[in-house]
Chains A and B, each alone.
Chain A
């Protein structure tokens, strides 16, 4: 196996434009949610991934429907890329019956098994043992589907992280573990939550490879995950990819993030994954003004429609607070 960072790949112009579309859509979706929660139209539960979009786009791009993702709370975009309609995700945030949980919970605490999406709880890292279980079924069935499991650097300090990665290593499960290292666990900076620089080296303790990459470069993320996914599909076990990134907003929309400096934020904003990729596409004549305008209009239409749909969707019936507890 070659190092996953050097996995060879070639993307057609349409595929590159699709990546561009997803980056922009996910950014715009989170930005709209940020406004809606400030307006009081969405009650809470908004944990944006603004600044981190390249990780989702790079890892989800090209996944099969049968592959499973186990996203973390900032990964709304992964739901969209795996096939959940924007209307449904917006309804989920508005706590409407047309959302995934029918108003029972907000954000990403719901999933769609048929689309290969597991929705976690608020217990960060608790999705990882479940990812191991999903991966174990693929191993039992001898099929070459994979699980992509996401966690923050903060969640890598939980017992569940250790138990899950250890189990995955022992069983050589087809899982790609994606660490979104955005430098802060809520307010606690990296150096106060771990005594190492790279989460990636933790993989060595579980007997598989870990690699740290630039999480703001969508093609770097795509290349690394392509290699790790190929390894998993071939039965060669798990990989840990640590994507270095930064969240622009606070932990949630009510967090003013006073624990960090304006300079630090400005430095990371200069590494915004979207302009970087835009420049790349324009330099290769994949993207021009007309194409960009068309994509941006499509995104605005999609989000306006989703908000309109969610606003007009019915609230749950009060008595649905006590249904769907048992099958």
Chain B
């Protein structure tokens, strides 16, 4: 009971002390405010980055294995991969046959070509050669019209499906279905438009909405196939364990490649997981650097609070003497000053969080998606109270240890 009342009293004193020294309080909290804005902004930015990355890669599916000539992420010598033979369409057919009819194998490749409709031209559009199986290895679906069919692929038809950004840029409000556009030097008929996917474009990732899909057979005919290496997106049969299936794919690929047992793989297995992992590693480092910088600013803020608490204790030495004379124990004095420093920091933290909403909004407009989430707010406020307790501790301890007689006679 007495502890609770003691806390209420300590809170009252803390608030009164803050009110009594407004200008000083504001200046002191400035350090904390800046620190907390830094904390929240760093975490918000990291969160936004990670979310939009995950959102965009999730289109590709985490149960899909990609076989390609090069690994997506590699360490060491690039030249060890350079002399690997290409993966061609025949390889994909062989692999599909060996994996059985339940597994899906979709060979794709992309190139950059100018795309034109009437007077609208997009230079360097990403043109992707793929098959009807694209729908099975990706979560992308047409918004209207249809996707490519096996028939389109077999007969090398000049049809295409547009990403939603492509459609906007080329057609504006015009209905694109059955319109002819030029891809490279040939005319293609638009048969469908994909749903919006979101993009990871801001850090060099693929922008799925500005792609244009054509049959892979037509792709080879138009843009050449001899020096191309395709990537095979492979989906495990329903119910299969993805890790087991990966072994199977490696084994079958070695057969396709006619590798002897002592030869290394001359192809690479890529997975979303490894991409995510690499991304998380990079994010971890970025976050750590961000937190270190943030930590320094919070430390500086904390030193400011500690300084002001020393001043506060000195100024109120006489008051401490009075309180002790009428029966305040050391713990009560300690509590009083700890609460005061925590309140200073909590107020600073709250202002910092409020400002961070503005900063996040600005980042959102200018750089990338970012929004302050509740857990971040809670973390920020907890951190500010912790800074208050830590930086207030030595001054509060000193106050609690004052000799009552000396304190009482201090002027």
Q: A and B: partners?
A: no
